[in-house]
Amino acid sequence: MAKTDVLTLAILGILETSPLHGYQIRKQLGGELGPFRALSYGSLYPALKRMVGEGLIGADAPEESTRGSRRSKISYRLTDAGKARLHEELANAGTSSWEDDAFDVRFSMFDRTDSVTRLRILEGRRTRLAQRLEDAGLNLRRVRERQDGYTAELHRHGLETVEREVEWLDRLIDEERSALGGKPSSAGADN
């Protein structure tokens, strides 16, 4: 199975709804708070080019006609191969750790993801965060020992942020579970 990097996935996702120019893609990606808040054209255009080469997307340059040399707007759209890849990814969504970067992108496509996969993604993320929390907890003693109040405060705030995200995930997981018809399960108990 071909591997799909996060940017590719995000582009596939954003183009599924409708064809867009590179410029528009960037704007829409920039709207999210996520990893592509400030994606540069130096990343975007080469990526689009590559994806065209791989057959995932098609580039529609409107009317090269009347031999105007003017390089003009190009509309990118998903090809069938692109759709196939996207749906493969949508059904797939590993629990592997690289998924951490992709979480936002995956989440933003939840409306096109089946609920079992959604649950898998949410739980994967939760597990990784809980692990991080645990690792950080082991350092807490050490941090307190070298007492520097500011460092401790930074650490505390970091932990708090992650804890809150775990709570958020727990809420979402519960919602997914009950929507799935199951009993809510004792989420949040193992923390």
Binding site for DNA (CB under 7 A): 5-7, 21-24, 38-43, 45-49, 70-74
Give the strand pairing for 20-21 and 75-78: antiparallel
Give the footprint of a second copy on residues 115-154 (CB under 8 A). Answer: 132, 136, 139, 142-143, 148-151, 153-154
**108 lies in the binding site for a second copy (CB under 8 A):** yes
Q: Is the dihedral of CA 163, 180, 5, 42 positive or negative?
A: negative
Check binding of 178 to a second copy (CB under 8 A): no
Give the whole-angstrom CA distance, residue 183 versus residue 148. Answer: 46
Q: In the complex, what is the shortest distance from the CB of residue 50 to DNA, in angstroms, rounded to a whole number?
A: 9
Longest CA–CA span in the chain (Å) reads 75
Nearer to DNA by Cβ, of 44 and 172: the residue is 44
The CA-CA-CA angle for residues 83, 110, 39, to 5°, reads: 75
Stretch that binds a second copy, among 45-53, 71-79, 101-109, 123-131 (CB under 8 A): 101-109
63: partner contacted, choices DNA, a second copy, none (Cβ within 5-8 A by kind)? none
- Given a contact cutoff of 8 angstroms between Cβ atoms, the answer to whether 70 and 49 are in contact is no
Give me the least distance between CB of 183 and a second copy, in Å please.
Answer: 23
